[in-house]
């Protein structure tokens, strides 16, 4: 699995079940270069569920791919709450 550009830990533990609750919002991703903003995403794993922020459908799709990869790796385990920000590097 590729390594995201930024991962920031947050307080708390997130259960696999909570990651089935996904909220998707639209907006620019902090730190992403303007030329790849349309592919950038932010994925926050919180006690309330997953929150995706992206400025385009392509960014939202990449965030969902990452979320699904994480869920597959987790199995039934729990993970630390965190925020992942990623974008392509051309």
The pTM of this model reads: 0.92
Identify the residue whose tokens are 């998707």. 24
Strand 78-86 to strand 6-15: parallel, antiparallel, or no bridges (unpaired)? antiparallel
CB 45 within 8 A of CB 16: no
pLDDT (0 to 100) of residue 1: 61
User: Mean pLDDT in each 10-residue stretch from start to end of the chain (90 residues)?
Assistant: 85 93 96 96 96 97 95 89 92
Phi, psi of 65 (to 5 degrees): -60, -45
Q: Quickly list H helices, 1-90.
A: 57-74
pLDDT (0 to 100) of residue 89: 84
């Amino acid at each position: 699995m590729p390594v995201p550009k930024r991962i920031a830990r947050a307080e708390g533990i997130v259960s696999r079940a909570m990651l089935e609750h996904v909220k998707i919002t639209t907006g620019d991703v902090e730190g992403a270069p303007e030329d790849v903003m349309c592919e950038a995403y932010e994925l926050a794993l919180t006690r309330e569920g997953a929150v995706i922020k992206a400025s385009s459908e392509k960014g939202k799709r990449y965030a969902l791919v990452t979320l699904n990869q994480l869920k597959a790796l987790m199995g039934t385990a729990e993970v630390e709450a965190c925020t992942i920000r990623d974008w392509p590097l051309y």
